[in-house]
Structure 1
């Protein structure tokens, strides 16, 4: 057939149809007699999945037509199949205010259309998923640009055929596939912003099959909430490390978080090609670089068992599509001459500091330059030879080396490639699968890891109930195409399409935060929903399945609107009482980045509320608050986080124009001294008197509370209270009386009963304990300065009095309890205002990896920001890079990352976080009414705290008496005028 200059066929349409028929017959014969005929990937059991009966027919017809067109036009032409024509009334350029279709922002494959053909048997995988011991959920973790998504691409390319997004440049390795990045923002930015994953069947080195749920996570610290979600459902963490950057501060924190959550870890030293192509290190120095990195891994984990010889540290080059362990390399290259015990012994000696001479391993000293390390001899030298001969275009030498050492050969077309595509072909032929990594992932976690987690979770719960009881953890709502799905980990029982389940959200009541099991009341209050569909993750597609069972990670449709962040799913019957209740997920760190938004057109407020509702469900770490003034306040993790969030709110979920304030931060209220007087606070009828004083907590205990090193749940019973008292005396120097009388922890503040039996009726105070605690919680949530949270303060109840005798069985007790809640709040406010109140601000820790030559430039940039300073600088061995650690107030950090990137000409990677929960005092006296606050000019440093307080109060509507600072917080609001005058005359206020 002939074609014109535009690629259109010339001739009768019948000829084209006949040709397509021929191609179809040829393809069918290949599918019948070819190598893949044993795996009928799209044959789905009709008995189990009636609603998918048309999947195979649609898949075969359309893909055969696509294959024919691709064969006709060649690899240089991208072939698309459109399923419907544009309507005549539909505009070519659509307006930007619709915001209804989520699919316009994604690149998801249409359900039941063009689902990629798997290289494994899907039916066999479905049967394997019924065995929990053979299922592994693995999350890929690592810092920004460590190659996590590219590692996931290796599994995608090796497990699926006929991906419609594969181009020639991707196939040759010139361009990354990034199959897990399926939203427009991710593709345009070139970085992962959302959690995504895929489920596939894989085999290990012993050819044992396992079902792998692989989760790809963002590397930018602004999206650490997505990482926390992945950790909450995973058994094992695959930690990716860039060979050049090594163990950065971000990687160290990820390791600590994995250890805290009990995740097994496997380390993947990625981008080993950079040792040759960028650093150009000789093999011996490359070995020293790898040795140093392994020692750093052992130092970060505090575990010397992490070593390549134990197969928990592997090597990879995502650029060239390979992952291998020492065992796999030795088996592949030297397996013909080594077998059984000899092979295992050889593997153990390769990494150690030995040298090989005439068939014998000898120990090697650290500075031995006369003998080459065995790892260099047997691993690095063959790799370097492949690089050298390929880049030198010595194709014949490469072909002979591959044939001799690895038993693989190259075709003439492959040898005609450019060096980079040829390198990818060579390495993928040497290591055509990921069996080494699968073996490491399955052996490190083991079946015991899953069962240990399950036993801990279901202790005293599901063990004695029917096996039919369903229990699962819903961890995240996701927008996939035009549908909303929920990511769910099943822990017990089975669920099928059409089943009705109960959805129970985590307990939000502070006094009930220790509740760990579902009760009948929760079942009655929980919402009931019918499961509309169940699917497996596929990256850019969802694979529908009829049911899910224990140990599986699946997507459920039909429950997303019943909760916001996470929830417990259980069977809809009374027998579910006693099952474990999943607590709210710890999203790692407190969001301190704040913006205020409003619709540009006030009439579109309902659209904004609808968009905020969806955005709040899809962004796990987002906090949405509505102030009393009606403002909508959003709290998140950083500038990039809000840039992506506002794009989705405007263009995807809301479809409206939104006004947004300048970014600000979250402040907190505290004190720097003890209350100068014990001022009693009385109820309106003068029947109740309460006296409270305040003092700052020690920094160590504040940090331990914020990092959850101090188990505040010990206060739940008497035994736990005694243990808590012991810890406070031993580790923090508290006296025994105060340690035994702690009533509550809230945020980072503490309430202590410091009353004396001679002055206070202890039984009466204990009777009203719940009301007193409610008032304390209220006071700590909204302090007296600007209604922000109180940070690091110990409140002590000194005295509690009531006039007359109180009958605890009378109706007056309820009235007294109602009066006590605001009275306790008022007493705490008075205590704080008499203890030298201050404003504290959050501090960002910035980890910057850059070339050493730009260090003076960084210093100049930081000098322009208040209180920003460098506290540590580390050299990255073997590279021209350094890691600089700085601290800067969050409110001074806006735009700082951009300034550093511009000043360093883009040669800096900046990660800002507040994981260590550092807070510092804002300069100035917050109670100084004479502090100068100029208009339209920056406030002087001595007035900053007063300036922040007044601006926050005016924004919240607390202060309305003009611009000047004489309408700020004052003790006069809470006590008698006469008493206030006396204190003022004495110089206390």
Structure 2
């Protein structure tokens, strides 16, 4: 069909009730882009023959090469429905169309009669209608036009950030699940994201053709298999609902407890609250589950171009069976059967031992299987012609004669069960319009901490909830998209029609003829030189070519946005609120911008717009320099603002590389390229080290390769040298027998500690293991620190509650920036909510720490109140604990002044003045451990003693204060070295960053998969055969440091039969002492003095130390006495 005119799409943006904003979410390779191709073919954007092959929305070359989506892409589609309704109800329907959207499930009696265009569908509400007087009125056709804003998102785990941007802009989602593989890891992830964003999903079970052609299931086996997939998906949704209910219950109990405490203080009993708690609260969860009878499940094969819902078959068979269509729809999936004698539908109890097929098989699946059988599985031309005739389809003779059976199959299904019609009709009926969706989503977005959001009072809040196009502008920019300058409408060459081309050629010929005649006339008349005409024409072409070359290679940034309220226009001034914007400080992280341009995003192309009303997805220009990755656009007329930036699927950036240009003179181009990359990619992090080195952090190997391709080909356009991937490690210690000190360990000690010759920092002879006594080089301060590994349960708790620890630290440090500022309105409400949340977090943290400290032993019991600092970076899983017997931290005013604290010192300086230096030394030590300068994890440092020595004459003399200032710096370094030396007193270990690896493969290559995992030092956690399929699901752990090239290796070894998904999981202890050497007689006999077995931990440690420029013990010549004989030529 011809493509839809741009004016039609722009016109539909104003009709909010007929706009749908949807995204496609799924695990990698479950068919998202193939499905979107079929939807694009319905609008004439691509040929229906190329659907599933061209991958139109994968516009990047590397996306086409790899066959996976790496960036979310948007496109707007047109969909037209003709509903047959009674003439008497047309006027009433037209009056309500502006205020009421199509609710879920209201259109019940429908049979889809697709026109040849594929974008227009006729549905039957009723063939006739009876008026109040009893007379029958004929049905008339009413056309309804819809604008579908579709966003295709990646499924690969490295690009989960793109999924967040897509789901935040949409109101509904098509969640695809492979009919063979079932629910996978990313399926669970995207369902959770949709749940958090209150995005209503429709389930699409795709690739059903694989059940027929690959697995060769019978209809009954396929029916049972599809039921299991529905159970899996609904089980996932049920867990989300349970979590939500438990969270709400916890909040209600906390609020009720607070109210009861208040009533006790007032002297009331609160018995009425006790009696009100006796009833059981129930919540209906039926609306969150997927079931074919509800119309929110689509069965599809995107590659073969067909899809159906049970509604379609209910409309076909209702009249034949003499049943109401609504009743038959509820019976078409489940334990319902057709009695062959009575021709009535019976339940499971009515079987009475008979082996009858469920209706879903008898009326639906058998028909689909029959078409595949006669066309593809067992090709039979005669039977194919009979099937086509029975289905009342019209196929061209050349289509029937085609030797490509798959093409014949696609042609049949595209007329019988067209995919685009089924999917778009489900989108229109099941997914909400922007006004309906924002009434549900906006209160949760604006009041995330409220169980029952309050009624809107501000104008901007009412405008957002009602999706009011006449209100002020509120929009959310989810990401910045980099596009070539020549793609922008103002720079694009205009396409001219054939008539315009003929007219232009006619004018040029007339000019040439006139020039020739002028040359013949000589001096008579006006002289027009032919050469001059040709030269002017060539000059104009050269200018056009130069302008195109100037634009080539340059990039522009546009914001990928959703407008919630108002109408944004070109030239309008708006406020840009950054991610850190706080309503209490309205002048910070806020800037003003003028809208440069507006676009409707059509995949690779952009359509220029003058304005965009509320409820639409669009592109906006002019934000470069104001929005880094995401932000909020706010009407300049309104005071203050509300930050709409929320939490998404933030993948942990685990792979780090350093970059530099091969030509040092091109450093400025690299810096500019990194700035563009940082804005255009929501998941990448760009850093500049203290040494001036430029570093990027990415989510994984595939993400790194995409970033490097963007830098080299689009943003920097220079040759770039990349370092070896830098993988993070952690350092910890275990309670194991100490090894005999080797030369390597001594070298580390000497490299880390200072003044070892003077024994200023040494092991305490009287203290327990890990106790270190340290004295500053100027001998002003002496202290004792005991290092102890943190018990496993306590360590896990600290790792899981990093956010609460940060809140606890901020509160105890007196960091209340808005305490003395007058606030009102939303700013005051936000501040009060945040203060309440901080208090809850602090209380919850201490409540959790108390039993864990008690379980750890007598040395730990009750010490949770004596925590001086967490580290590294003040929030890590390492502890500095006060064991002095008095309050050491002078900034800590929780318990007031401590009588046991020393009040005198030298020149008025007490030990409390050293608190900050002690804590700084602790932070440095935990941030750069002694093994290879990586952060420590799970270590506790007890401050046992600290004193200011009085044997220095300088301290009391003039200038003593400055001398003590010098001592503060020396305390920092002494504390750092004491912590490191105490750490080495235990048995040190490296902790490796680990990937969780999910692989699905067949039994034939299972052994090869195991071999690749074992060679890369991974370990298998779980292996399970998926019931009813030949596929095995493998879960394994793989060290990140060994993962580079793993995906390519495993695909090569298995000939593409296995493809892994790698997700960062945790840090795991490598149980090998990096300083281990053979010591015992048995070890020396088996391994020799040099230990023939490689010490993996030492190899990792030495690689990191070498990269950081630290000392590495390396033998250059192992056998100096060995004779070296050179061959003489």
| Cα displacement (A) at 1:870 | 1.7
- Using the alignment, how far apart are the partners of 2:459 and 2:923 within structure 1? 38
C-alpha distance in 1 between matches for 2:947 and 2:572 = 57
Match of 1:749 in 2: 876
Secondary structure of 2:1105's aligned partner: helix
CA deviation profile, 1:343-382 (whole Å, cap 9, x unmatched): 2222222211232113333344999882212211011011
Deviation for aligned residue 1:852? 0.2
2:714 is aligned to: 652
SS in 2 for 1:562: coil
Partner of 2:620: 556
Evaluate the alpha carbon distance shift between residue 677 and residue 695 of structure 1 in structure 2; reply closer, same or farther with a 3 A threshold.
closer
CA offsets, 1:849-879, max 9 Å, x none? 221011222233333223x222211112333
Residue 996 of structure 2 corresponds to residue 845 of structure 1: yes
Structure 1: 5+ residue stretches without partners: 1-34, 44-120, 508-515, 805-811, 931-937, 966-989
SS in 2 for 1:523: coil
Conserved? CA contact 1:534–1:544, under 8 Å: yes
Q: Equivalent residue of 1:188, what SS?
A: helix
The offset of 1:927, in angstroms, is 10
SS at match of 2:1103: helix
* Alignment pair present for 1:126 and 2:24: no
Choose from 569, 573, 582 the match for 1:517: 582
Residues 788-818 of structure 1: CA deviation (Å, up to 9, x unaligned) = 34444556677788999xxxxxxx9999999
Show the counterpart of 2:113: none
Q: How far 1:180 sits from its partner (Å)?
A: 0.8
Q: Any idea what the Cα deviations from partners look like across 1:685-717, whole Å, max 9, x if unmatched?
A: 988888776655555666677677975576463
1:243 to 154, 173, 179: 179
What's the offset of the Cα at 1:448?
6.0
**Which residue of structure 1 lines up, in the alignment, with residue 291 of structure 2?**
307
Say if 1:689 and 1:280 are closer, same or farther in 2 by CA, change over 3 A. same
Q: How far apart in 2 are the matches of 1:726 and 1:173?
A: 61
Match of 1:330 in 2: 314
Q: 1:829 to 1:356 in 2, by over 3 A?
A: farther
Secondary structure of the residue aligned to 2:331 is helix
**1:580 lines up with 2:643 in the alignment:** yes
Q: Work out whether 1:859 is the aligned partner of 2:986.
A: no
Structure 1 position 217 matched with structure 2 position 153: yes
More displaced 10-residue stretch of structure 1: 444-453 or 313-322: 444-453
Instruction: Work out the CA distance in 2 between the residues paired with 1:244 and 1:476.
Output: 34
Distance in 1 (alpha carbons) for counterparts of 2:921 and 2:19: 48
In the other structure, the counterpart of 1:383 is 368
State the number of aligned residues: 812
Say if 2:474 and 2:634, in contact at 8 Å, map to a contact too. Answer: yes
Determine whether 1:831 maps to 2:979.
yes
Change (3 A) 1:677 1:870: closer
Q: Aligned partners of 1:921 and 1:173: how far apart in 2?
A: 51
Aligned to 2:1097: 945
Distance 1:229 1:791, change over 3 A: farther
- Specify the alignment match of 2:29 in structure 1: 145
Which of the residues 471, 474, 478 maps onto 2:477? Answer: 474
Q: Could you tell me how far apart the structure 1 residues matched to 2:39 and 2:961 are? A: 66
Please say if residues 593 and 663 of structure 1, whose CA atoms lie closer than 8 Å, have aligned partners that are also in contact: yes
Matches within 5 A, 1:711-730: 715=808, 717-729=838-850
| 1:661 to 1:816, Cα distance in 2 relative to 1, 3 A | same
> Is it true that 1:41 corresponds to 2:5 in the alignment?
yes
Pick closer, same or farther for the CA change 1:730–1:834 going to 2, 3 Å.
closer
CA–CA separation in structure 2 for the residues paired with 1:455 and 1:814: 58
Counterpart Cα distance in 2 of 1:469 and 1:688: 63
1:568 Cα deviation (Å)? 3.4
- 1:181 aligned partner: 58
Kept in 1: contact 2:197–2:441 (CA 8 A): no
Whether 1:464 and 2:591 are equivalent positions in the alignment is no
**TM-score, scaled to structure 2:** 0.64
Aligned mates of 2:312, 2:962 — CA distance in 1: 73
Does structure 2 retain, via aligned residues, the 8 Å contact 1:315–1:323? yes
Q: Which residue of 2 aligns with 1:528?
A: 592
Q: What displacement does 1:899 show? A: 2.5
Q: Secondary structure at the match of 1:576?
A: coil
Equivalent position of 2:426 in the other structure: 439
Map of 1:89 onto structure 2:
none
Deviation at 1:962, TM superposition (A): 8.0
Give the structure 2 partner of residue 489 of structure 1: 562
- Cα deviation, 1:755-777, whole Å, max 9, x if unaligned, reads 47952256543499999988877
Does structure 2 conserve the Cα–Cα contact (< 8 Å) formed by 1:738 and 1:753? no
> Quick check: 1:895 aligned with 2:1080?
no
Instruction: Give the equivalent residue in structure 1 for 2:1070.
Output: 921
The answer for unaligned runs of 5 or more in structure 2 is 82-101, 108-122, 124-143, 240-285, 448-453, 464-470, 486-555, 737-767, 812-837, 895-912, 951-959, 1080-1089, 1117-1129
8 Å contact from structure 2 (residues 925, 976) kept in 1: yes
Match of 2:934 in 1: 788
Deviations 1:768-787 (A, max 9, x none): 99999888776655555544
Name the SS for the 2:639 alignment partner.
helix
Does the residue aligned with 1:917 lie in a helix, a strand or coil?
strand
**Which deviations, in whole Å up to 9, do the C-alpha atoms of 1:57-104 show, x marking residues without a partner?**
xxxxxxxxxxxxxxxxxxxxxxxxxxxxxxxxxxxxxxxxxxxxxxxx
Q: Secondary structure at the match of 1:575?
A: coil
Q: TM-score, normalization: structure 1?
A: 0.72
C-alpha contact (below 8 Å) 2:295/2:430 kept by paired residues: no
* Residue in structure 2 matching 1:193, options 70, 74, 88: 70
Cα-to-partner distance string for 1:178-234 (whole Å, 9 max, x where unaligned): 111112222233321211122335467848765443221222223233223323434
SS at match of 2:311: helix
Which residue does the alignment assign to 1:103?
none
Looking at structure 2, the residues matched to 528 and 814 of structure 1 have their Cα atoms a distance apart, in angstroms, of 48
Q: For 1:608-656, what per-residue CA distance to the aligned partner results, in whole angstroms no more than 9, with x for missing partners?
A: 2222222232232222333344433332233222222222222222222
> Which deviates more from structure 2 when the two are superposed, residues 304-313 or residues 242-251?
304-313
Call closer, same or farther: CA 1:531–1:798 in 2, change over 3 Å.
farther
Deviation by residue 1:462-500 (Cα, 9 ceiling, x = unmatched): 852555554433222212232321212334444322223
CA contact (8 A) 1:925 1:942 kept: no
Equivalent position of 2:677 in the other structure: 615
Cα distance between partner residues in 2 of 1:327 and 1:875: 34
- C-alpha RMSD of the superposition: 4.4
- Mark the CA change 1:174 to 1:505 in structure 2 (over 3 Å): closer, same or farther: closer
1:344-363 to 2 correspondences below 5 Å: 344-357=326-339, 358-363=342-347
Residue 666 of structure 1: how far off its partner (Å): 1.8
The match for 1:319 is 303
CA separation in 2, counterparts of 1:689 and 1:269? 70
- Supply the distance in 2 between the matched residues of 1:388 and 1:821 (Cα, whole angstroms): 82
Conserved in 2, the CA contact under 8 Å of 1:597 and 1:631? Answer: yes
Contact 1:523 1:574 in 2 (8 A): no
- Once the two structures are superposed, what CA deviation does each residue of 1:422-479 show, in whole Å capped at 9, x if it has no partner? 2222222223444556536864668665333311332399852555554433222212
Does the CA-based 8 Å contact 1:173-1:320 persist in structure 2? no
- After superposition, residues 729-748 of structure 1 pair within 5 angstroms as 729=850, 737-738=862-863
Superposed CA offset, 1:30-68 (max 9, x none): xxxxx99xx98344xxxxxxxxxxxxxxxxxxxxxxxxx
Contact 2:375 2:409 in 1 (8 A): yes
Larger CA Rg, structure 1 vs 2: 2
8 Å Cα contact 2:478/2:561 also seen in 1: yes
